[in-house]
Chains A and B, each alone.
Chain A
Amino acid sequence: MWRKTVNVVMLSLTGLCALVAVSALFFILGYLVYHGGRDVDWNFFTKLPTPVGEEGGGMANAIVGSGKLLLLAALIGVPIGLLGGVYLAEFGGKTVPFVVRYTADMLNGVPSIVIGIFAYAVAVMPVRHFSTFAGGVALGIMMIPIVLRSTEEFLNGVPKAMREGAMALGASKWKTIATVVLPAARNAIITAVLLSLARVAGETAPLLFTAFGNRFWSPGWSQPTASLPVMIYTYAVGPYDDWHRQAWAAGLVLLGLVLLINVIVRTVLSRGPSAQRS
């Protein structure tokens, strides 16, 4: 009897744990919609921030800034991650892939603020001013290990018979990879790239002292720029109610974007490769 009681109690407790963990997601979403929903309007997407006390300000510059940072990040992270992943999966011997894999996992575990220090040291210190470029470097470095490891994984998932078929037709190895293997894993790799973009889109810490912030438009790539996550941070810790409302609105937009990418990519795109394989 005692054992049965323990059984029921402990099993319900594990269920409760799962419930608590999952409910956190709904709490987060609920609070953001409740507090930020009213202020996500047309102005938010089209106007510059206004001085405190003036109505109708928006975060257009931060949204564009985030977009530019993500573009730079993708330009750095995708080629290195993708081609590196091709090497690991297709050409690798024993030692080099082991070292690359190990350092990639390490790089993935480096705190984002430390990556920010690195970007500061290589892209801010030499030119002596904050820039969009430096922020892009920080985010790009964070993307590399994610794209690298998932590319490798997905390429390894492409059936051997497809490679053998192409080679039997006389294709060289790189032609096989470029025309058969990569297209077969295309959807999976796009998934990985989008997920890694969603991950770095919300990064704040490495941008604080690389892209910094800006209350106006940031022309070109060498000026400091505003970005959504940094705006949320500065507005949330600031003293004004106006700012707090804007921070909630920006939080809702950022979270909506990140979750939307995650849901779409995980439910729609990730089915692609398995469907192709069967």
Chain B
Amino acid sequence: MATAHTTVESAGVTGPRALLRRLTSGDEIARLVTLIFALMTVLITGMIVVQLWVNSAESRHAFGWRFFISQEWDPVFNKYGALPFIYGTLVTSALGMIIAVPLGLGAAIFLAELAPRRISDILTFMIDLLAAVPSVIYGLLGVFILVPLMRTEIEPFLKETLGFLPLFQGPAYGIGFLTAGLVLAVMIVPFIISVSREVLLAVPREQREASLALGATRWEATWRAVVPYARTGIMGSVFLALARALGETMAVTMVVGNNPRIAASLLGPGYSIASVLANEFSEATGTLYLSALIELGLVLFLLTFVINGLARLLIVVTTQRGSGVAQ
């Protein structure tokens, strides 16, 4: 092993002769070619930002910051305001998170801490399959299964029991913020589960054993010693899921109701940034209309970019701290 290692080291010696040898043997060329392909990833990402910025110029100049506070969306009179869409995106994502985070965390704790390894592996495999289901399929089930169910069963029930809250008033259409939030929740649960499970599995054994040795029950050991240890990583998984929910297009478009509206009631129809892009982009007439839609795309890009960055940071911090303690 040691001798093999020195051979590799001496092959990497720099100097004119070594460089010449590397050139003739093709190493330099291979390095350059692969470098170019690697940099293309950076180039394409950069181009996405530039294209969004340049093509939204007309709308940015015409509306400035008013774009974000105006509620008017009127293609006929060329008046565009993003507020109802931003509101809808945030509300549906928040609803999805409220349902998905406890569910996902609970399932992740079960898979990482309680289930026997074999069962845990099988269930995780199924969760991975669930993550692979295309979003248009969720939309299909949303339209034909969930929406009628919401209209005839769930929403009337909510109105009866919680109708005194402004959140659950108004007619039960079936479509709307609440339905979109539910579909989003089902869609992002697999992501929360698989990342959280891995973070929980990375918590050192000692953490559990020390807690159990002090007389804690299994649940207390998990909730007070293991989960806090993995807290940052779990937060990371939550932010990753949030970024997905914000950018999710098809399933939301099919059940949200497509009505740019800001209202307290979760039962009524709404809209989201991604949905308005899906619905109106291919039919946008006039450069200002198109430019306003592209500016919405830019907003969505920046939103998910910040949340994703935060998520990666949190996950990196936990894994580094985890390995530090393990050593």
Contacts and interface: CB of A to CB of B under 8 A. Distances in A.
Interface string B42-55: 10111110011001
Given A103-B42, A174-B26, A21 B193 contact: yes
B7 interface: yes
B27 to A, nearest CB: 5
Contact of A117 (B35, B42, B281): B281
B33 interface: yes
Nearest to B294: A117
A84 B134 contact: no
Contact of B136 (A3, A209, A233, A259): A233
A89 to B, nearest CB: 10
Contacts of B34: 83-84, 86-87, 90-91
Contacts of A104: 41
Contact of A201 (B37, B134, B144): B134
B38 A84 contact: yes
Contact of B30 (A173, A204, A266): A173
Contacts of A106: 45, 305, 308-309
A178 B173 CA distance: 60
A204 B250 contact: yes
A106 B129 CA distance: 23
A87 B38 contact: yes
B206 to A, nearest CB: 21
A114 B33 contact: no
Interface in A66-105: 79-88, 90-92, 96-97, 99-100, 102-105
B320 interface: no
A204 B308 contact: no
Interface residues of A, number: 101
A167 B137 CA distance: 50
Contact of B130 (A4, A21, A232, A237): A21
A56 B29 CA distance: 57
Given A25-B129, A111-B300, A248 B219 contact: no
Contact of A11 (B1, B114, B134, B282): B114
Given A7-B219, A164-B7, A204-B250, A105 B133 contact: no
A87 B48 contact: no
A103 B137 contact: no
B139 interface: yes
Given A11-B219, A21-B130, A28-B137, A107 B106 contact: no
Contact of B297 (A28, A117, A177, A233): A117
A194 B55 CA distance: 34
A223 interface: no
A267 to B, nearest CB: 8
B26 A172 contact: yes
Interface string A20-42: 11101101100110010000000
Interface string A145-169: 1001000000000000101110110
A48 interface: no
B107 interface: yes
A243 to B, nearest CB: 12
Contacts of A10: 219, 223
A225 interface: no
Interface in B262-321: 274, 277-278, 281-282, 294, 297, 300-301, 304-305, 308-309, 312
B107 A21 contact: yes
Contacts of B29: 174
A106 to B, nearest CB: 6
Given A15-B114, A22-B123, A232-B140, A107 B41 contact: yes
B51 to A, nearest CB: 4
Interface stretch (B58-66, B71-79, B155-163, B241-249): B241-249
B130 A266 contact: no
A90 B106 CA distance: 40
Contacts of A32: 137, 140-141
Interface string A254-267: 11001100110010
Interface string A228-255: 0100110011000000100110010011
A205 to B, nearest CB: 4
Nearest to A173: B27
A265 to B, nearest CB: 10
Contacts of A233: 136, 139, 250, 254
A226 interface: no
Interface of B: 1, 4-5, 7-8, 11, 22, 25-27, 29-31, 33-35, 37-42, 44-48, 51-52, 55, 102-107, 109-111, 113-115, 123, 125-130, 132-141, 143-145, 186, 189-190, 193, 217-220, 223, 240, 243, 246-250, 254, 274, 277-278, 281-282, 294, 297, 300-301, 304-305, 308-309, 312
28 contacts: A14-B110, A14-B114, A16-B106, A80-B40, A90-B34, A92-B38, A96-B39, A105-B308, A106-B309, A113-B247, A113-B249, A114-B297, A114-B300, A117-B281, A118-B47, A130-B282, A161-B1, A163-B8, A164-B7, A175-B26, A202-B133, A208-B281, A233-B136, A236-B143, A254-B136, A258-B132, A266-B125, A266-B128
Given A110-B301, A236-B143, 17 more contacts: A17-B109, A18-B123, A22-B127, A31-B141, A79-B37, A84-B40, A91-B30, A91-B35, A100-B41, A110-B45, A111-B248, A164-B5, A167-B11, A201-B134, A229-B250, A236-B254, A262-B128
